[in-house]
Amino acid sequence: MESPRVLVTGSSRGIGRAIALELAQNGWKVAVHYSQDDESARRTLAELGSAAAGMYKVQLSDKESATKLWSLATADGPVNALVNNAGIYRPVSFANATDSEFWANYEYTMAVNLDTPVRLMRLAVQTFKQQGSGKILNVASRVGFRGEANASPYSASKAALINFTRALAVELSGQNIRLFGIAPGWVETAMAREGMDNRLEQILRDIPLGRMATVDDCAKTAAFLLSPGAEYLSGNVIDINGASYFH
């Protein structure tokens, strides 16, 4: 039986790269997406080895990017699962930023973190309906549940992504299309580096398990959700935060 193929956005580094490599270990063929770093993307592709199934460079901040990426990926073969991992985090003060600063942050954050993932999901669902099945996994965040100061657009984008995951799981349940999410807290990635460097002691004090998550912690959970072992699950968004937050 031919291996299933998955498209992982933002898979040249960080959580996306770890998910790509973990899925390859679990029998998936992996299509790599990235937006900037050619060298890192090529490195990921090389590590995937025979599990590599395409590499696509597409910016995800405009309305056409989802169609472009999905067209490129599906032109190279069937896609059986989509992982919406690519995202950005840009702090902004709601009260103190200028109008131009706030709205520029808001519009760009929503474009990358929500609008393009939703457009990709719509395209994926049409493909999966024709194929008779499919899976979508969205990488959200703990702040999608609890909020965070100076990150209102980011928090809102992740909260919306979580609820798209839940709503579509119900809506598409009769069409053999399953949706999942993971909601990491602090993870040792480049995105978190500034916070780690400036207040690591405080961060660790707030995590009962005593450490930040690794990208592999996230990847193993994502791989389980996309595995046959999770066939009876859909709409689940799993927290990965070391017992630092419950809801």
List per-block mean pLDDT (blocks of 10 residues) for the chain, which spans 247 residues. 94 97 98 97 98 98 97 98 97 98 98 98 98 98 95 98 98 98 90 66 91 96 98 98 95
Structural domain contains residue 38: yes
**154 an active-site residue?**
yes
Structural domain contains residue 144: yes
Structural domain contains residue 71: yes
Structural domain contains residue 247: no
The CA-atom distances, in angstroms, between 180 and each of 36, 81, 93, 168 are 27, 11, 31, 10
Question: Which of 56, 89, 106, 154 is labelled catalytic?
Answer: 154
Structural domain contains residue 70: yes
The pLDDT score that the predictor gives to residue 191 is: 61
Residues 9 and 120: beta-carbon distance below 8 Å: yes
The pLDDT score that the predictor gives to residue 203 is: 87
CATH code, 129: 3.40.50.720
Structural domain contains residue 15: yes
Q: Is 129 exposed, middle or buried (0-12, 13-18, 19+ CB in 10 A)?
A: middle
Q: How many domains, the chain?
A: 1
Structural domain contains residue 208: no
The CA-atom distances, in angstroms, between 3 and each of 26, 78, 92, 136, 192 are 10, 10, 43, 17, 34
What pTM, to 2 d.p., does this model score? Answer: 0.96
Structural domain contains residue 20: yes
Range of the domain at 181: 5-185+214-240
